[in-house]
Chains A and B, each alone.
Chain A
Amino acid sequence: MAGELEGSKALSGLLSGLAQEAFHGHQGITEELLRSQLYPEVSLEEFRPFLAKMRGILKSIASADMDFNQLEAFLTAQTKKQGGITSDQAAVISKFWKSHKTKIRESLMNQSRWDSGLRGLSWRVDGKSQSRHSPQIHTPVAIMELEIGKSGQRAGSRERESQADSLLSAVPHGGLDPMTLRSGPELKSRVRGLTD
């Protein structure tokens, strides 16, 4: 039985399943599902602690957002531990993290976004010739529709559309200049400085 768990073939699949459940929010992945699909020869009693161990390792790696040096050091330490992992398993885990790191990090970032996100943006420029509120003739206006809703929800999903706020806003030509155009480039250069 122990031999089955020490092998590394099914481990890759197990890590995928664990990642789906822990990071990507997949609901249906149970212990029993993973065991029956990947380690059918192993009893649930034996599988449980093994699964917990692998889940713990994966969560530690993701939580620390380990680079490859940290990863190697961490996994080496795990192989030396009592009841730790084999070097074959360490290799599988290492390969898994290297190829899934970006996607897992993205999911973790999404999990930490609680504010509404910008789900859609469309705009139109009107050349107004007359306005009830403004005596000016031919005042161009930018009209923007912002779809603001809870992050993680896909735009266009009928069930969730009602939760999004459609913000139709008219931005007169004069109004864009003082605030937005001055703010925009300044904000953009600060963002660039932060992400370069």
Chain B
Amino acid sequence: MKMLVDFQWKLGMAVSSDSCRSLKYPYVAVLLKVADHSGQVKNKSFEMTIPQFQNFYRQFKEIAAVIETV
């Protein structure tokens, strides 16, 4: 079981690509830093579409609400 030690985010807008000149695609990129029991920190990064991020955020809010009641 690893510990979450840092959470970094970036809100980006993909403007253009080789397959689509007019992309206009907003996304959220997240960098998580997790430490194992020895203290070694690893980076995990991933990207989310806006709807995915909204679900992600909703889950976090739910966790925050539940953890208050424990």
Contacts and interface: CB of A to CB of B under 8 A. Distances in A.
Interface of A: 62-65, 108-109, 111-113, 115-118, 121, 123, 125-127, 140, 142-144, 146, 148, 151, 165, 167-173, 175-176, 179-181, 183-184, 187-188, 190-191, 194-195
A111 B19 contact: yes
B26 A194 contact: yes
Given A118-B46, A148-B44, A190-B11, A179 B59 contact: no
A151 B47 contact: yes
A115 B9 contact: no
A65 B50 CA distance: 19
Interface residues of B, number: 47
Nearest to A175: B4
Interface of B: 1-7, 9, 11, 13-14, 17, 19-30, 32, 34, 44-50, 52-57, 59-61, 63-64, 66-67, 70
A126 B1 CA distance: 13
Contact of A115 (B5, B24, B45): B45
A184 B5 CA distance: 16
Given A116-B45, A173-B67, A179 B19 contact: no
Contact of B9 (A112, A142, A173, A187): A187
Given A63-B20, A170-B1, A187-B9, A123 B59 contact: yes
